[in-house]
Amino acid sequence: MNGIIQNRRSIRKYQAGNPVTKEQLTQLLEAAMMAPSACNSRPWEFIAVTKREILDEIARIHPYAKMAEQASAAIIVVALPQEGTASGYFPQDCGAATQNILLEAVSMGLGTCWCGVYPTPEPMASIRKLFNIPESKIPFNVIVVGVPDETPAARGFFDASKVSYVE
How high is the pLDDT of residue 112?
A: 99
Q: How far apart are CA 87 and CA 84, in angstroms?
A: 5
- 44 CB burial (10 A radius; 0-12, 13-18, 19+): buried
Task: Tell me if 70 sits within 8 A of 149, measured CB to CB.
Answer: yes
How high is the pLDDT of residue 154?
A: 78
Which of 143, 161, 136 has the alpha carbon at shortest distance from 49?
143
Kindly report the pTM of this predicted structure. 0.96
Q: Compute CA 46 distance to the chain's CA centroid, rounded to the nearest angstrom.
A: 10
How high is the pLDDT of residue 34?
A: 99
Q: Give domain limits for the chain.
A: 14-148
Q: Is the dihedral of CA 17, 23, 26, 30 positive or negative?
A: negative
Q: Regarding the domain with residue range 14-148, which homologous superfamily does it belong to in the CATH classification?
A: NADH Oxidase (3.40.109.10)
Q: How many CA atoms lie within 13 A of 17 on its CB side?
A: 0
How high is the pLDDT of residue 3?
A: 86
Q: What is the pLDDT along the chain (167 residues), one digit of tens a residue?
A: 778 998 899 999 999 889 999 999 999 999 999 999 999 999 999 999 999 999 999 999 999 999 999 999 999 999 999 888 899 999 999 999 999 999 999 999 999 999 999 999 999 999 999 999 999 999 999 999 999 999 988 788 899 999 999 99
Q: How far apart are CA 133 and CA 131, in angstroms?
A: 5
The 3-class secondary structure across the chain, one letter per residue, is CHHHHHHCCECCCECCCCCCCHHHHHHHHHHHCCCCCHHHCCCEEEEEECCHHHHHHHHHHCCCCHHHHCCCEEEEEEECCCCHHHCCCHHHHHHHHHHHHHHHHHHCCCEEEEEECCCCHHHHHHHHHHHCCCCCCEEEEEEEEECECCCCCCCCCCCHHHCCCCC
How high is the pLDDT of residue 155?
A: 80
